[in-house]
């Protein structure tokens, strides 16, 4: 029965919530599921892997998400903030390493006003790269101003589609605001990235199935799935960690249902499994997002413990991941890797 569901998903790219739940619950079909996702990835996205260089430019955040080491109440981390020209310098170096996309990621930090961000974004665009922002919840006008400055993509994870769980884990934040942000970003013509944390305390299999259907409903262009990893400096210290295999299953199902979207092999997956990113690339993923932040800032951007590559340099990271990609017969793309919608009904 579940094997037939995989076949159906591979051919029709459609499953009901009940069917998704059945597949998420059945661990006897995992290999078939991962292989089907890999075939769909190859058919629609080819063998190229796109690298996106992440600049983690501020770990200051006004929000207080219970699962995140950057939460405002965490007094155990040293905070930092890079100045606009330092961000531009890192982006310039990333371009030198061959990156075609730079992702500017931070906590929700009010220092970066619209004017400062417009300056950074428009300067980065002069390098001929795609610019992705991951700055959290903003107003429609702010998103519009970034877009007008040249931003191409925006990442904002829904984290979980379980409204009650979301509002419990993200005190002071509202699920409806999150959805409003995603709608605004789509309206403004961004390529929109979203995604979930898998294995949050209190999260159900049913809500993971809802997450997958939500990504399809909003026509997300990029979907990142990462296992929840408890951080000792947060109230979720001591909670059970998310499961690598379950994260991989959710990711593989996303590939089957949304064949032409960009899916990263996330860093958090490699934290739980030494081969995590390679396994993810062989189970539906087509993107890797290496860190191009330098020095101690890599350690200080401590979303969760055990983050990989914190002692490496950006130059080392690009060589390391390129070697891994080649070792599985894939190639590093020389293009920006924007989402191109394909006919998925054939």
State the virtual CA torsion across 210, 215, 218, 219 in degrees, nearest 10.
Answer: -150
Using CA atoms, how far apart are residues 170 and 159, in angstroms rounded to an integer? 10
Using CA atoms, how far apart are residues 34 and 279, in angstroms rounded to an integer? 9
Does position 136 interact with ligand SF4 (CB under 6 A)? The reply is yes
Candidates 12-20, 57-65, 237-245, 328-336 — which segment interacts with ligand SF4 by CB under 6 A?
A: 57-65
Residue 50 parent element (H or E) = strand 48-58
Candidates 45-53, 59-67, 213-221, 245-253 — which segment interacts with ligand SF4 by CB under 6 A?
A: 59-67
Q: With respect to ligand SF4, which residue has the nearer C-beta, 23 or 68?
A: 68
Q: With respect to ligand SF4, which residue has the nearer C-beta, 65 or 246?
A: 65
Exposure of 344 by Cβ count < 10 A (0-12 exposed, 13-18 middle, 19+ buried)? middle
Does position 227 interact with ligand SF4 (CB under 6 A)? The reply is no
30, 63, 118, 245: residue in contact with ligand SF4 (rule CB under 6 A):
63
Using CA atoms, how far apart are residues 101 and 107, in angstroms rounded to an integer? 20
Candidates 7-15, 60-68, 115-123, 293-301 — which segment interacts with ligand SF4 by CB under 6 A?
A: 60-68
152 to each of 93, 97, 155, 215, how far by Cα in Å? 20, 20, 11, 19
Candidates 68-76, 207-215, 218-226, 312-320 — which segment interacts with ligand SF4 by CB under 6 A?
A: 68-76
Which residues inside 103-122 make contact with ligand SF4, applying CB under 6 A? 107-108
Exposure of 241 by Cβ count < 10 A (0-12 exposed, 13-18 middle, 19+ buried)? middle
Tokens representing 134 are 């991951």
Does position 133 interact with ligand SF4 (CB under 6 A)? The reply is no
Using CA atoms, how far apart are residues 134 and 125, in angstroms rounded to an integer? 16
The residues, any chain, with a CB within 8 Å of residue 295's CB and separated by 6 or more, are none
Closest among 3, 32, 17 to 249, alpha carbons compared: 32
Q: With respect to ligand SF4, which residue has the nearer C-beta, 63 or 168?
A: 63
Using CA atoms, how far apart are residues 243 and 295, in angstroms rounded to an integer? 30
Does position 175 interact with ligand SF4 (CB under 6 A)? The reply is no
CB 111 within 8 A of CB 104: no
Q: How far is the CB of 72 from ligand SF4 (least distance, A)?
A: 7
23, 65, 151, 251: residue in contact with ligand SF4 (rule CB under 6 A):
65
Q: How far is the CB of 71 from ligand SF4 (least distance, A)?
A: 4
Q: How far is the CB of 268 from ligand SF4 (least distance, A)?
A: 13
CB 66 within 8 A of CB 235: yes
Does position 70 interact with ligand SF4 (CB under 6 A)? The reply is yes
Q: Say how many residues touch ligand SF4, by CB under 6 A.
A: 9
Does position 158 interact with ligand SF4 (CB under 6 A)? The reply is no
Q: How far is the CB of 107 from ligand SF4 (least distance, A)?
A: 4
Candidates 65-73, 89-97, 310-318, 331-339 — which segment interacts with ligand SF4 by CB under 6 A?
A: 65-73
Contact residues toward ligand SF4 (CB under 6 A) are 61, 63, 65, 68, 70-71, 107-108, 136
């Amino acid at each position: 029965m579940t094997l037939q569901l995989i076949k159906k998903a591979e051919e029709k790219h459609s499953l009901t919530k009940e069917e998704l739940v059945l597949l998420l619950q059945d661990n006897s079909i995992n290999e078939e599921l991962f292989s089907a996702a890999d075939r769909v990835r190859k058919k629609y996205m080819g063998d190229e892997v796109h690298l996106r260089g992440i600049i983690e430019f501020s770990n200051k955040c006004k929000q207080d998400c219970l699962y995140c080491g950057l939460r405002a109440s965490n007094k155990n981390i040293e905070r930092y903030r890079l100045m606009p020209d330092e961000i531009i310098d890192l982006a310039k170096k990333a371009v030198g390493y061959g990156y075609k996309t730079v992702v500017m990621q931070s906590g929700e930090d009010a220092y970066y006003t619209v004017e400062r961000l417009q300056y950074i974004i428009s300067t980065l665009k002069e390098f001929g790269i795609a610019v992705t922002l991951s700055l959290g919840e903003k107003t429609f006008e702010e998103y519009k101003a970034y877009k007008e400055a040249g931003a191409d993509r925006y990442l904002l994870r829904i984290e979980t589609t379980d409204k009650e769980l979301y509002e419990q884990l993200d005190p002071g934040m509202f699920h409806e605001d999150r959805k409003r942000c995603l709608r605004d970003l789509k309206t403004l013509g961004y390529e929109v990235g979203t995604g979930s944390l898998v294995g949050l305390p209190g999260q159900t299999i049913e809500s993971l199935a809802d997450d997958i259907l939500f990504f399809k409903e909003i026509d997300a262009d990029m979907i990142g799935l990462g296992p929840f990893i408890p951080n000792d400096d947060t109230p979720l210290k001591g909670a059970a960690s998310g499961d690598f295999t379950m994260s991989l299953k959710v990711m593989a199902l996303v590939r089957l249902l949304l064949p032409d979207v960009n899916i990263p092999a996330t860093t958090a997956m490699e934290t739980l499994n030494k081969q995590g990113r390679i396994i993810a690339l062989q189970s539906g993923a087509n993107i890797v997002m290496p860190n191009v932040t330098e020095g101690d800032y890599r350690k200080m951007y401590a979303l969760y413990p055990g983050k990989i590559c914190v002692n490496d340099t950006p130059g080392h990271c690009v060589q390391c991941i390129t070697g891994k990609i080649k070792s599985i017969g894939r190639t590093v793309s020389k293009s920006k890797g924007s989402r191109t919608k394909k006919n998925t009904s054939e």
